[in-house]
């Protein structure tokens, strides 16, 4: 009945509906929490709108470690409730909700001592496995000798590492997953528009009855009427509460986390690796044929819109990894880097951010206005459920229970069968089996839509670049179906070229603009402006690093 396609005509329709209709719920923020709340509300039969000031996942939700995990380190903080809840979500995502996007990933936990440490870590991982409950799509933990470690991960220093315990978690392309949840919410009737910024609230006495939102494309201010306004603004929560003249029961502290990307050849290991550091942990995560290594955890108080990786961050990551790696990682091997800001819910202003709970808070700071913040990417579904439960009170009628445990993300339906048919699809489409696997892991059963783009224009079956896995058709599809409205949307979030290609992939910006221009109806000037805007972002990020990266 409803479409999950985000293209310029859908956006125009959504903007006009925002202005004319009355909604049960208006959601502010299109990170994973906001789109999760939109899906939760829509599938309870509520009339839902969502506005996002920039692009889906343009805040923290595109800059995480990309792990769907229980969080081993929360076990050490005795936060069993959070771990159990997150492991339940991990299971749901891998098996049912988004198996095309969320994949198992193994980690070695190296040991440096023979008996005591193995007992301690083994007991911790046994508890981690036990907290999974009875449904178990991922393998349990396994003890490994030094010899096995040397075979699996030759890069680990055997003069230090005496053995390891291997365990499993899951990983996801966070920005893609967030956008796919938004598409799923639209598929269930949510009216969604990006590049729409909420500027103020509409009030009737003390009651909030909606919000005024500015369309970045036309500059027009639109009034959106809703019985409940739900803010899911992550690190922007404090700023918006102040702007709206509301006093919430919590504050959001920011903590910066940086990751670097290295070529596959930089680390010899068939498994991810987790290293304990003095303040937290460092992950070495396989990412396609590259490595994602991070993260840092430092308090942050500057502009939330422009977190950047600095030379200091990079040095810290290299230093921690190089304690156990041989050969050592070098700064000049780094292909890319990104920084994100954790939204940490704080009750006391002076708390140390690393010590704060990762759990979320829901709050009602005015009649008709509720918010949620904190949490983890992994627990977005629960955050969405909790905040819509609270918003339901504003509707003054009984609303159905949340059913998102049973609502797969678009593309999940039929995915496992399509995987079995990979060779058949390859033969029929003329693409290689490896390309079909790549497409299934990004689109699931929506692969048909990408193949249709190729049928209409066979030239788009070609790779965008010989060193990247993306087809030109995927770039086109990003604008025709996935709501990309700029070169940055495509390079930073629909694909991850911005950190996967050397030099932020700037030499590809022109060809990407040329592919999406006809879909977006751009003039020559608009096309140039979008390329220039991306180059400015890339320049800012490169200059903050103060190092020359691989092929820069
Ligand atoms: C370095 C790092 C690593 C992490 N790793 C993991 C991990 O591996 N696993 C995990 O589970 N979690 C992880 N997290 C945590 C996780 O990424 C966050 O908890 C989650 O992404 C927060 O999502 P959100 O939707 O609440 O916030 P955001 O994604 O920041 O979304 C808020 C949105 O609100 C929008 N907005 C702001 N103001 C307005 C306005 N006026 N009008 C309209 N929209 C507005 C913003 O543009 C933004 O898109 C990590 C976080 C960091 C920083």
Q: Looking at residue 2, what is its pLDDT? A: 95
Atom of ligand 1 nearest to the CA of 54: 47
Q: Is the pLDDT of residue 351 over 60?
A: no
Domains and CATH numbers, the chain: 8-61+175-250+353-406 (3.50.50.60), 107-171+253-346 (3.30.9.10), 415-545 (1.10.8)
SS3 content of the chain, % helix, strand, coil (to 5): 45, 25, 30
How far apart, in Å, do the first and last CA atoms of the chain sit?
48
159-173 mean pLDDT = 97
Atom of ligand 1 nearest to the CA of 239: 38
Residue nearest to atom 37 of ligand 1 (CA): 233
15, 60, 281, best to mutate for ligand 1 pocket (most atoms within 8 Å of CB): 60
Instruction: Please report, rounded to a whole number, the percentage of residues in the chain having pLDDT higher than 90.
Output: 86
32, 35, 64, 238, best to mutate for ligand 1 pocket (most atoms within 8 Å of CB): 64
List the single range of 335-344, 349-358, 476-485, 528-537 with lowest mean pLDDT: 349-358
Q: Rounded to an integer, what distance in angstroms lies between the CA atom of residue 541 and that of residue 307?
A: 9
Answer whether 551's CB lies under 8 Å from 503's CB: yes
509-531 pLDDT, tens per residue? 999 999 999 999 999 999 999 99
194-232 pLDDT, tens per residue? 999 999 999 999 999 999 999 999 999 999 999 999 999
Q: How many residues does the chain have?
A: 552
232-257 mean pLDDT = 96
Q: Looking at residue 434, what is its pLDDT? A: 97
Answer whether 255's CB lies under 8 Å from 51's CB: no
H helical segments located in 174-310 = 174-187, 237-243
Half-sphere exposure of 203 (CA within 13 A, CB side): 11
542 Cα–ligand 1 center, Å: 22
245-271 mean pLDDT = 95
H helical segments located in 393-421 = 415-420
- Helices 433-443, 422-429: axis angle to 10 degrees equals 110
Q: Looking at residue 352, what is its pLDDT? A: 44
Q: What is the mean pLDDT of the chain?
A: 94
* CA–CA distances in Å: residue 263 to residues 252, 281, 297, 500, 538: 35, 21, 24, 9, 20
Q: Looking at residue 353, what is its pLDDT? A: 42
Q: Looking at residue 151, what is its pLDDT? A: 97
Q: Is the pLDDT of residue 358 over 80?
A: no
Cis, bond preceding 327 (omega within 30 deg of 0)? yes
Instruction: Identify the band that residue 436 occupies on the pLDDT scale cut at 50, 70 and 90.
Output: very high
Cα–Cα–Cα angle for 367, 234, 295, nearest 5°? 160
Q: Rounded to an integer, what distance in angstroms lies between the CA atom of residue 420 and that of residue 439?
A: 14
343 Cα–ligand 1 center, Å: 7
Atom of ligand 1 nearest to the CA of 257: 1
233-254 mean pLDDT = 95
Residue 120 CB coordination number (10 Å):
12
H/E element, 89: helix 80-92
341 Cα–ligand 1 center, Å: 8
Residue nearest to atom 3 of ligand 1 (CA): 64
Residue nearest to atom 16 of ligand 1 (CA): 377
Q: What's the predicted TM-score (pTM) here?
A: 0.96
Token duo for residue 87: 């492991």
CA 462 to chain centre: 27
146-174 mean pLDDT = 97
427 Cα–ligand 1 center, Å: 40
Q: Looking at residue 354, what is its pLDDT? A: 46
Residue nearest to atom 41 of ligand 1 (CA): 198
Residue nearest to atom 31 of ligand 1 (CA): 31
Cα–Cα–Cα angle for 17, 526, 222, nearest 5°? 25
160 Cα–ligand 1 center, Å: 37
325 Cα–ligand 1 center, Å: 31
Token duo for residue 108: 């070695």
Residues with CB under 6 A from ligand 1: 28-34, 51-54, 57-61, 63-67, 69, 197-198, 232-236, 240, 257, 295, 340-343, 375-378
Atom of ligand 1 nearest to the CA of 383: 26
Phi, psi of 306 (to 5 degrees): -135, 55
Q: Is the pLDDT of residue 348 over 60?
A: no
Nearest to 92 by CA among 172, 205, 148: 172
64-75 mean pLDDT = 90
Q: Looking at residue 551, what is its pLDDT? A: 45
Phi, psi of 514 (to 5 degrees): -65, -35
Residue 403 CB coordination number (10 Å):
13
342 Cα–ligand 1 center, Å: 7
36-46 mean pLDDT = 98
For residue 460, give every residue at least 6 positions away whose Cβ sits within 8 Å of its Cβ, in sequence order, or none.
453, 454, 471, 472, 473, 476, 515
26, 32, 59, 185, best to mutate for ligand 1 pocket (most atoms within 8 Å of CB): 59
CA 429 to chain centre: 30
- Helices 422-429, 447-456: axis angle to 10 degrees equals 10
Instruction: Please report, rounded to a whole number, the percentage of residues in the chain having pLDDT higher than 70.
Output: 96
Q: Looking at residue 543, what is its pLDDT? A: 75
DSSP 463: B
Residue at token pair 């797969």: 408
295-317 mean pLDDT = 94
Q: Rounded to an integer, what distance in angstroms lies between the CA atom of residue 12 and that of residue 186?
A: 14
Instruction: Identify the band that residue 552 occupies on the pLDDT scale cut at 50, 70 and 90.
Output: very low
185, 377, 383, best to mutate for ligand 1 pocket (most atoms within 8 Å of CB): 377
Nearest to 26 by CA among 55, 44, 52: 52
């Amino acid at each position: 009945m409803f479409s999950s396609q985000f293209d310029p005509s859908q956006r125009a329709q959504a903007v006009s509906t925002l202005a004319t209709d009355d909604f049960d719920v208006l959601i502010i923020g299109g990170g994973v929490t906001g789109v999760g709340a939109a899906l939760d509300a829509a599938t309870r039969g509520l009339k839902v709108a969502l506005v996002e000031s920039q692009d889906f996942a343009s805040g923290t939700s595109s800059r995480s470690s990309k792990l769907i995990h229980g969080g081993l380190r929360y076990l050490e903080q005795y936060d069993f409730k959070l771990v159990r809840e997150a492991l339940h979500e991990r299971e749901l995502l891998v098996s049912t909700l988004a198996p095309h996007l969320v994949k198992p990933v193994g980690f070695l936990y190296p040991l440096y001592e023979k008996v005591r440490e193995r007992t301690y870590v083994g007991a911790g991982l046994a508890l981690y496995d036990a907290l999974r409950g009875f449904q178990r799509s991922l393998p349990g933990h396994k003890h490994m000798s030094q010899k096995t470690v040397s075979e699996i991960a030759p890069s680990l220093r055997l003069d230090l590492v005496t053995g390891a315990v291997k365990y499993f978690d899951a990983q996801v392309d966070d920005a893609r997953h967030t956008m796919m949840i938004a598409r799923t919410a639209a598929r269930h009737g949510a009216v969604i528009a990006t590049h729409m910024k909420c500027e103020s609230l509409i009030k009737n006495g003390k009651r909030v009855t909606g919000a005024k939102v500015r369309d970045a494309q036309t500059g027009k201010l639109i009034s959106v009427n809703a019985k409940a306004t739900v803010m899911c603004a992550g690190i922007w929560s404090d700023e918006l509460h102040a702007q709206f003249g509301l006093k919430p029961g919590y504050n959001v502290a920011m903590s910066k986390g940086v990751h670097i990307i290295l070529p596959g050849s930089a680390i010899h290991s068939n498994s991810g690796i987790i290293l304990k550091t003095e303040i937290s942990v460092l992950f070495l995560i396989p990412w396609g044929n590259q490595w994602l290594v991070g993260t840092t955890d430092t308090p942050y108080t500057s502009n939330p819109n422009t977190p950047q990786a600095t030379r200091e961050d990079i040095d810290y990551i290299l230093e921690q990894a190089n304690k156990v790696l041989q050969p050592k990682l070098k700064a000049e091997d780094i292909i890319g880097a990104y920084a994100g800001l954790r939204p940490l819910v704080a009750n006391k202003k002076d708390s140390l951010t690393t010590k704060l709970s990762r759990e979320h808070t829901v709050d009602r700071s005015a009649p008709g206005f509720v918010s949620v913040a904190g949490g983890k990417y992994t627990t977005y579904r629960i955050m969405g459920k909790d905040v819509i439960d609270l918003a339901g009170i504003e509707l003054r009628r009984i609303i159905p229970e949340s059913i998102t445990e049973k609502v797969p993300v678009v593309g999940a339906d039929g995915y496992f069968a399509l995987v079995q048919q990979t060779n058949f699809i390859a033969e029929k489409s003329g693409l290689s089996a490896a390309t079909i696997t790549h497409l299934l892991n990004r689109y699931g059963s929506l692969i048909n839509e990408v193949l249709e783009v190729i049928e209409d224009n066979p030239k788009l079956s070609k790779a965008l670049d010989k060193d990247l896995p993306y087809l030109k058709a995927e770039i086109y599809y990003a604008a025709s179906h996935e709501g990309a409205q700029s070169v940055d949307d495509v390079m930073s979030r629909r694909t991850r070229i911005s950190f996967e290609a050397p030099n932020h992939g700037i030499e590809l910006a022109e060809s990407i603009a040329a592919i999406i221009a006809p879909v977006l109806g751009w003039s020559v000037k608009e096309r140039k402006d979008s390329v220039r805007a991306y180059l400015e972002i890339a320049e800012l990020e490169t200059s903050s690093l103060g190092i020359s990266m691989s092929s820069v």
